[in-house]
Structure 1
Amino acid sequence: MANAFPPAQILTTLIALRDRAMAAETLNALAFSMANDLYSLLPFRQALVFSHTGRHPELLCISGLAKPAEDSPYLVWLKQASRWVADQFADTTPKAGQTTATIWIDREKTDPPPDIAEGWSEWWAAGLLVVSFHRPNGERLGFIIFQLETGVPEGLLEQLGGVFRTWGYCWHQLSGGTKKRRWRPSRRAAIIIAIVAAALLFIPVRQSALAPAEIVSRDTQIISAPLNGVIDVIAVRPNQQVTKGDLLFTLDQTTLRNKADVLIQEVAVAEAELQAASQGAFNNPQSKGELTVLSGRVQQRRAELAAVLAQLDRTRIEAPADGVVVFTDPNDWIGKPVATGERILQLANPDQPAMRIELSVADAITLEVGADVTLFLTAYPLEPVRGKILETSYQARPHNDGIVSYRLLANIENRPEHVRLGLHGTAKLYGDRVPLGYYLLRRPLATARAWSGL
């Protein structure tokens, strides 16, 4: 029938077929065009389009049907038949530079399985023209089956080669373009990989943990309130260098001074009464008995006055040694009532710096005294500070941010010039060497045990 067309009409039809394929926006639209539009040049009984990117072919379109019933006996048989057809050109690959391959399957010249042969005689034509489509890298995209009662007319297959290549190009682009082949190791390679991976899990690595840290002094004195009172004046600023005897802060003296003034008057009155009784004792024997009581009262008032004056002297708190004053904002303390023994500030020796590390319970590892520590200061991230652990706390306690952690103290080796009290950073602590598998699975195993209770 194809020979009845003039060459110009065949050329026009081929161009129209290519244009429809190029206009397809989805793979289903392309499959519909492939299954139906070629009938004018190649009169087939039925055309079937299959995608073959997975293990088994998948039906995309059947000529003349918009949506075939999936539970029909024909489609159930077609799943097996499509796999058998795919096996017929399993070893057929496109020629160099081509992305399509064509084979002819004749029922009389092949020996399909009985179940395939039975369905073929019932539903299919005598011959099958199968065109497979591939990516440029050789990966198969799918194939189309044309059912023909007779062979392909002479010369037509060569004329349709351009249409087949256009279909393959459009299929390649609509299915995502060139895809890299996934490497699938052989069984032997998989066993070798598993053995190597298992061996890697036993490689010894050094345990490590990260924790916030601060530069503090190993020689620190607590300056606390010597008596109950109210903070009157803070004479220093945070991180100020002071020398021994410098005034640090004072307590309000108003109450004590008023009490001292009252006691001074009471002492004067008691002394006057004692003097009057002493003078009257010469003429009045009864006054001699009062001398002892009045003398004791004078001594009591004097002792009370001396105690108040001593408290007045203690309202001025001075630095007991040279160092750096460590405390919060002075405005937080001025006018604040304090009790005896309440900590106001710290006096730190800047010549003995150390690292104070807060290691959370979740990140805790086995650490011994002498373990290595590297501190990365926030202000100097490119100049790490190294040291060794001096002491560790036995019990974990909540930190200022609410995280339960252990407190560790580490020294600073070869003290750098930029290290000063109050600097913060992140410390990396190094523990013993453990297998890589334990290092990777320690946290997940601990979480699983805490969740499951095993």
Structure 2
Amino acid sequence: MTAPERSAPLVTLLQLQRRARQAGTPQALGFVAVNETLQLVAYRQAAMWTATGLGQVMAVSGPPQPDPQAPYIQWLAPLFRHLMREATPAGEVVIGALPETVRADWASWLPAHALWLPLPAGDRPAAAGLLLARDTPWSPHEIGLLGELAHAYGHALDALQPRHPWREGLAPLLRKRKTRRWLLAGALLVSLCPMRLSALAQAEVVPFEPFVVRAPLDGVIDRFDIRPNQPVQAGTPLFSLDTTALRARLEVARKAVDTAQEEYRQSAQAAVTNDKTRAELVLRRGKVQEKSVELDYTAEQLARVQVKSDRAGIAVFADANDWIGKAVTLGERVLLVADPARVELVAWMPAADRLPVSPGDTLTLHPQGAPMQSFDARVESVSYRAEATREGFMAYRIKASFRTDQPLPRIGQLGSARVYGGWAPLIYVALRRPLSTVRQWLGW
């Protein structure tokens, strides 16, 4: 054999190693392994397996991509799983040592002599393998060449896998019993660390002891003299009721008074000569007084149609257009006059997140639209039972007063309030909601 003939396999081996390094995907590498390895040694069939995920046949000689549902691929899968599970070293496959289900159909799918080549990845166990099959036995020289090529294929396949450095470093540590004990002790210690119970609740800043402006009588609101959140002083006109009906009643009352007075005058003149008319004089006088009272009452109502503020503050209501033209009844609340320097917090703690909160505990308001702001408050009262909120869930109403050493939020500010309760182990804080849900579901 001449020198070029002796060096030809080595040149082919180097070329295949280069082709493996140039492969851009695991599928491209699999195609090279099962098809182009034929340049180095002769074989009839080849298949490549990877243990990634649940394991799969990555490539077979011939088609560019294997069909997972094909009977040949379905038969190869248990064969590869057995070889990987038993950590079979490189060499010819001993058919007699295979499982019965695989051994029984061997002749239907593969030739008599198959060479198994694990694809190592550095110092880690092989996560893939290459199977080459033909009708003649494999020589030691061929097995040596293919062993070197398998090492290159394994290195290239490992380089194409996604990197998980922290997982790779953690796995050897977890195999040590002492490390597992320390981790378990650390987890137990952390789970027993005390943490303060807390819950989030919807919250709103409301005025403290505001002046409620009510409708002075039945009627229809005619106009508003102020805007929402407008500062007002004592005596500032707020809104007025429609006076059409009252003016008509006042005119009717005046006519009735005039009529009663005229009847009384006529009765007084006739009483000089007629005793019977003198007896009716008292009734006529009473009727005059009755109609006068009705006139005064109607005039008083007409004077009350314009509502004025009794104190200084800001007008708290949504929109004047919501009220203009609306019929109101006596005593119906129309708006509030509040002092912006006197506010409090109302929070709604969901019944599912209920904590043992009592007056004197603290909570923190995180207003919407201001992620860098927060306001501390002190709980003043907690409702004894849950009630339905505007959003439709059951919650406990909490009232709290703001600390005086901080700026006060504006009236109407919405946000989330973090309510703080007592202290409990971390494991209880983490499992409180799941345990509550499981308990409700199981009924214990």
Q: Provide the TM-score with structure 2 as the length reference.
A: 0.77
**Residues 14, 385 of structure 1: CA spacing in aligned structure 2 closer, same or farther, 3 A cutoff?**
closer
Instruction: Quote how far apart the aligned CAs of 1:382 are.
Output: 2.3
Partner of 1:6: 5
Instruction: Quote how far apart the aligned CAs of 1:166 are.
Output: 4.0
State the Cα deviation string for residues 343-372 of structure 1 (Å, max 9, x = none): 101122333221122223233322101110
| Residue 22 of structure 2 is aligned to residue 32 of structure 1 | no
CA distance in 2, matches of 1:325, 1:252: 21
- Greater Cα shift, 162-171 or 50-59: 50-59
Q: Aligned with 2:140: secondary structure?
A: coil
Instruction: Quote how far apart the aligned CAs of 1:188 are.
Output: 4.1
Q: Aligned with 1:39: secondary structure?
A: coil
**Residues 104, 217 of structure 1: CA spacing in aligned structure 2 closer, same or farther, 3 A cutoff?**
closer
Q: Aligned with 1:183: secondary structure?
A: helix
Name stretches of at least 5 consecutive residues in structure 1 with no aligned partner.
89-102
Alignment length (residue pairs): 422
CA distance in 2, matches of 1:56, 1:419: 58
Which of residues 251, 256, 261 is equivalent to 1:271?
261
**Residues 399, 146 of structure 1: CA spacing in aligned structure 2 closer, same or farther, 3 A cutoff?**
closer
CA contact (8 A) 2:341 2:408 kept: no
**Residues 164, 280 of structure 1: CA spacing in aligned structure 2 closer, same or farther, 3 A cutoff?**
closer
CA distance in 2, matches of 1:324, 1:209: 33
- Greater Cα shift, 139-148 or 427-436: 139-148
Q: Aligned with 1:357: secondary structure?
A: strand
**Residues 266, 370 of structure 1: CA spacing in aligned structure 2 closer, same or farther, 3 A cutoff?**
same
| Residue 386 of structure 2 is aligned to residue 386 of structure 1 | no
State the Cα deviation string for residues 384-440 of structure 1 (Å, max 9, x = none): 211201112223333333333322211111253453322222222111112222211
1:117-128 mapped onto 2 (5 Å cutoff): none
Which of residues 153, 168, 189 is equivalent to 1:167?
153
**Residues 135, 317 of structure 1: CA spacing in aligned structure 2 closer, same or farther, 3 A cutoff?**
same
CA distance in 2, matches of 1:441, 1:371: 23
CA distance in 2, matches of 1:69, 1:76: 11
Percentage of matched positions with identical amino acids:
28
Which of residues 421, 424, 428 is equivalent to 2:414?
424
Which of residues 227, 233, 239 is equivalent to 2:229?
239
Instruction: Quote how far apart the aligned CAs of 1:297 are.
Output: 1.1
Structure number with larger C-alpha Rg: 1
CA distance in 2, matches of 1:59, 1:230: 83
Q: Which amino acid aligns with 1:6?
A: E
CA distance in 1, matches of 2:317, 2:187: 54
Q: Aligned with 1:206: secondary structure?
A: strand
State the Cα deviation string for residues 266-300 of structure 1 (Å, max 9, x = none): 11121121112111212222221221221111111
Instruction: Quote how far apart the aligned CAs of 1:129 are.
Output: 7.8
CA distance in 1, matches of 2:353, 2:378: 18
1:50-449 mapped onto 2 (5 Å cutoff): 51=49, 53=51, 86=87, 132-136=118-122, 138-143=124-129, 152-153=140-141, 163-173=149-159, 176=161, 180=165, 181=168, 183-184=170-171, 185-186=174-175, 187-378=177-368, 380-417=370-407, 419-449=409-439
**Residues 76, 173 of structure 1: CA spacing in aligned structure 2 closer, same or farther, 3 A cutoff?**
closer
Q: Provide the TM-score with structure 1 as the length reference.
A: 0.76
CA contact (8 A) 1:247 1:316 kept: yes
CA contact (8 A) 1:135 1:178 kept: no
**Residues 183, 226 of structure 1: CA spacing in aligned structure 2 closer, same or farther, 3 A cutoff?**
same
Q: Aligned with 2:371: secondary structure?
A: coil
Q: Which amino acid aligns with 1:296?
A: G
Q: Which amino acid aligns with 2:41?
A: Y
**Residues 442, 293 of structure 1: CA spacing in aligned structure 2 closer, same or farther, 3 A cutoff?**
same
Q: Which amino acid aligns with 1:395?
A: R
Aligned CA-pair RMSD: 4.3
Name stretches of at least 5 consecutive residues in structure 2 with no aligned partner.
none
State the Cα deviation string for residues 79-128 of structure 1 (Å, max 9, x = none): 767766x365xxxxxxxxxxxxxx779x9xxxx9x968xx9xx9999x99
Q: Aligned with 1:386: secondary structure?
A: strand
CA contact (8 A) 1:31 1:60 kept: no
Q: Which amino acid aligns with 2:153?
A: W
